[in-house]
Amino acid sequence: MSEHNPTDSTPPPAHHHVELTDQLLAGSFPFDDPEPLYDELRRTAPVAWNETAGFWALSTHRDVHAVATDPVTFCSGRGILVSEIGTTYDSPPTMMHTDPPDHTRYRSIVQPAFSRRRMALLAESVAARVDALMVPLLDGASAEIVSELAVPLPLQVISDLLGLDHIELSTMHLWSDASIPDSTGLTDERRMELLGEMWATLSAVCVERRANPRDDLISDLVSAGAGGKLDETESLTDAELAMFLIQLLVAGNETTRNVISGGLIALAEHPEQYRRLASDASLIAPAVEELLRWTTPVVSFVRTATCDTELSGVAIGADDPVLLLYGAANRDPAEFGPTAATLDVGRSPNHHLAFGFGAHFCLGAALARLEVAAVLEALVARVSAIHLENEPTRSPSTIIAGVLRAPVTLVLS
C-alpha cells in the first residue's frame, strides 16, 4: 500500500459507481446466499466504489487484511457501519469505534478477562452449560438449535463472566438484537427503547459494583483505576464503562451464537464432514476454525481512510470509507486455494478473518473458540448425524450473518 504524494497536484480519478455494490446495502443484500455476489465482486471489481452510500467495497483477503492491520491509514473513529458514514460521536459508542492510543488503553484494561489462562479456567463450566442444554435436544424429536442451544449458551457464559445473573437471559437477548440494526425486524422506536433500557440498567450495575464489588468483570472494570490498570489520577468514566459493558454483552454472545447455529447447519448440509469430525477428535480445533471461516458471523465493518492511499492499484482518497467484506475475504481462492468454496474441517493453514485482524482483533476470540469447541465435543460424543428439517431462517442484516431459526433432528450414536 503506497501513500499519495501530497505535493502531487494531479487530482485522483473520479470514482466510478459499480452497480453490483448496491446489493450490499440494507434491503438489497442477498443474506440467504451472498457468495455469488462476493465471487463476482472479487472477479470483476475487487475494490469497487458505491456511489449510493459512498464507500469502497473490498472483497479480497489481501485488501481486507491490509486495511485491518493499518489503523493509522484506515481509522475506526469515524464509524464502523455503513449507516454511520458521516456521523460523529461525542463519545465512542463502543471500543470498536476507537483508534490507538485510546483503543490500546481500553484494550489493555479488558484483555486480561479473556486471556487463555482465564479461558482454560472457564472450560469446565462451559462444558457443563453445553451438557445441560443438550439434554432436551437428544430425545429424538425435532429441535430448534437457535433458541434451544445457540442463543442461551453464549448468553449464559457472558452473564457468568460479567456477573449479570440477576438479569433475565431473554432481556439480554432482546438488548443484543436491538444493538444490531435490521437483524430481527424490530422497529427503530423499539430498538431505541431497548438500547436506552440496556444503558440505564448496566449503568446502575456499575454504580452498585462500585459500592459492593464482586468477583466479576464489571467489578474489575469499575475499579480499574484503583487496581493499577490506569494511572491513579484516571478512572473510567460512566460513558466509558457503559461502552465496555454494551460491547462485551453484545459481542460476547451475538457472533458466537451465529457461529454455533451456522456451523451446525453447515455440518448438516455436509454430512461427510460431520462423519469425518465424529471419527477423529483431533479435528475439533481445526473444525472450529473452519466453521468460523465458513459462517463468518460479522458480514462487514467500515473503516475510513485518513489520507490519500491505494489498494490493489486503486486510488483511495482521504476521508473515503472502505467496507471490509469479511465473508468475501474468507472465500477468496487467492488465499484459500481451489477449495475456498468447500467446507473442510481439517483445513490447514486457515488464515481466516472471522475475528478481524490487527488492533481490532476480537477480544472474545478465545471465549468463542472455547464455546464452539465445547458444542462440537458434546455433539460428536453423542450424535451420529444432524438432519435439517426445514430451510433455516436467516437474518436480513448486512452486519451480522445471523440465523433466526433452524429445526434439526440429532440422530443418536
Domains and CATH numbers, the chain: 19-412 (1.10.630.10)
Q: Count the neighbouring beta carbons within 10 Å of the beta carbon of residue 309.
A: 22
Rounded to whole angstroms, how far apart are CA atoms 286 and 303?
Answer: 30
**pTM of the predicted structure, to 2 decimals:** 0.92
Considering 110-114, 145-149, 216-220, the range whose residues carry the highest mean pLDDT is 145-149
Q: Count the neighbouring beta carbons within 10 Å of the beta carbon of residue 112.
A: 12
Dump pLDDT digits (tens) for 226-265: 344 444 445 677 777 877 888 888 888 888 999 999 999 9
Q: All 3 cell numbers of residue 121?
A: 479456567
Q: Count the neighbouring beta carbons within 10 Å of the beta carbon of residue 219.
A: 20
Could you tell me if 404 and 393 are in contact, meaning their C-beta atoms sit under 8 angstroms apart? yes
Q: All 3 cell numbers of residue 249?
A: 454483552
More confident residue, 117 or 67: 67
Question: Which range has the worst mean pLDDT, 48-57, 302-311, 331-340, 352-361?
Answer: 352-361
Query: Residue 45 in 3-state DSSP?
Result: coil
Rounded to whole angstroms, how far apart are CA atoms 313 and 206?
Answer: 49
171 contacts: CB under 8 Å, gap ≥ 6: none
Q: Count the neighbouring beta carbons within 10 Å of the beta carbon of residue 201.
A: 17
| Torsion sign, CA atoms 330, 336, 337, 341 | negative
Helices and strands (DSSP H and E) totals, the chain: 16, 12
- Region 74-102: mean pLDDT is 89
